[in-house]
Structure 1
Amino acid sequence: MSTSLSERLNAELSSLRESGLLISPRVLDAANRARTRVDGREVVNLASNNYLGFADHPALKARAAEYLEKWGVGAGAVRTIAGTLRIHEELEEQIAAFKHTGSALVLHSGFTTNQGVLGALLREGDLVISDELNHASIIDGLRLTKATKKVYRHADAADLERLLQEHDTDGLKLVVTDGVFSMDGDLAPLDALVAVARKHGAVTYVDDAHGSGVMGESGRGTVHHFGFEYADDVIQVGTLSKAWGGVGGYAAGHANLRQLLINRARPYLFSTAQAPATVGALAAALEEVQRDPTLMERLWDNTRYFKAELARLGFDTMGSVTPITPVLFGEPAAAFEASRRLFEQGVFAVGLGFPTVPRGSARIRNIVTAEHTRDDLDHALQAYQTVGRSLGVTAA
């Protein structure tokens, strides 16, 4: 007798509940800012990716309203039929100029960008070697291709070289890595990785979802941070939903990359174009980050202060060097309980367990932003001190 839908759903949910991994997202009752209202409680928000405070920024809202009024609610079609508005192409030119690449294309999310670009580039006979901690969207994107797939140890250029030596091909060779790793907050060693890739004739593919708007001059990203802009053998992809405050994804690189993706990237070919208001907000964000250097200065000042104080209190931040600041608890039950107690203290910081992070490394991931004040951070640190003591995680 076959399994009914109710049986399958109940069994899966029961399994998640029994393992302590069942998620029930909290609901925001106000705009996603450094201080907001969640489930009826005023909180300091350490859970968002709103690095530069753009999600509710006046300049972005004004441009969104302007584009909404002029261009309407939606584009009305997929890009390849009748959905490419002039503002779409202007945004892509703006991104290419900002990223110092030959071309750029905007898709609907960072997740679908990885699916679309990897699917368009890779074919049977190609070789792709991916960092073991790469984002789920990369893993899923690679599953859709017929390329030979290998995984190298996290951020280990020597292991990457070993795999390139052991597995050669006459096809395309692609080395794939996050720029900033979203759960640990560490940087890919692009200086070493690109050198190894070039030695073996491989292209480097960098998902810079958490590096764009955070790393490099004016937030140009991790590729810029390591000095590889203008490089035709480096592909940059990422999201427009984190530092840029909107939604969407981008792919930037070789001058011909855009044209290939227009013809081959399935998420681009079969999805209605981005709404004009979103395009306007993103265009304003790219202008604002270059106009106001204090945005990134505040982001990094806050990052350094928060990390130093967490370390002083005795928390393990897992070697993070970016605004992503994990606090390690080990088991999911401890991380989720710490998150609950922090919320009672007026701090919104979410616990993460398997499969989002490896087993035994459950944590709370904190992200400070340019919008946080020192009072916000001190409030959060006091809450961490109280919770750490109550759970026996720290003695401070």
Structure 2
Amino acid sequence: MDYCRGQAHFSSGVHSNKMKAIATKLTEKYPTAVYTPSSTCALNVSLASGMALTGIQIVMSTFKKIESFFNKSPSLQLELENAISIFYQGNEEKASDLKEACRTNWTMRHDAFEVAVDVVESLLLCVDSVHDNEDLRWSDQVTHNALEISEALADFEFVAALVVLKNTLSFTRAFGKNLQGPKIDVYFAASSLTAVLHSLNEVLDNIEVYHEFWFEEAVNLAAALEIPVKVSRLYLRKHRPEAGTEIQPEGYFKEHLAPVVSQLIKELNNLFSENHLNALRYLMLVPAVMGQLKFNMSEENNVEMYRNDLPNADTLPAELHCWRVKWKHRGKVTLPSTVHETLQLAEVKFFPNVLAFLRVLSNLPVLGLEDADGNASRKRFQM
């Protein structure tokens, strides 16, 4: 573990809390093993999966069922596209965009929750049609799976949680997308986290107002789906109201979904510690990033955490200056744009401290692995 420079864990629900506790312990004992999100998963999906709230986990488990269901057969995918055409008859552009999205693993995308809200009516129509099986096209297993998804979609708890996720995670969508983009986008994303957290804290400070808007949106969506606005049956069974009283849906969902914002803020702070952000700032060593910064890179940065990784930390300022000058005067050539490309340069060995930092960056789970052509790899380990 002394040589570990990054850790990422993907788990859901109650298991997520256990993994976070382990990650915290590891970081306390090994500060250089910074806790980061994984490059193989969209940040918003990872953030939602890690929330141990019943409504949120209902959404995420339903997403898994949807993905598995439509991946089984092109005919099911076509059935969904037909349903989209029905609901968006007057908006061919929107229908085309949704069909294109649904041909991907959209439940794992940065905009998964926005897509889900737009397509949920079509989804419900599709799975209901498959379950009815009037033309006897589908097997018993397929119709059973369709019924499971239909029941989940027609639950107001799912609808309310989905709307809250869509609105809350809209603040982190661009940030998360940039983390999986070109290295210059990752570099600037590290600087934009403060603004993201500021926006989320404003939402938290005015959660009463936001909750009213979100609940109204959820009620309207439920009306479009023709499902009742009511408290979960399982909750009512465990928490029977006193005689003459009734648990109101708005109060229930406010209590159970309002923590989404505070949990999101907490998780972002955990995933993007100051040590993690300092490490990402060294992406300025990638020549193409330097070029985007007009070579105005700082030659002073926090090196204490990685001092033991540097062959000669005392010469770092001078070495960074030489590295900057080297690339500034290369003329009109294509600059290496990834950590991998930069590590392949023959001359990088003459900059030992720079080389050490690049090796640290190449091991951060938040930065996608790249193949020999610089293409991002989806799998960090080959099993």
| Structure-1-length-normalised TM-score | 0.30
Q: Higher RCO, 1 or 2 (CA under 8 Å, sep at least 6)? A: 1
Would you tell me which structure has more strand in proportion to its own residues?
Answer: 1
Would you tell me which structure has more helix in proportion to its own residues?
Answer: 2
The structure having more radius of gyration, on CA atoms, is 2
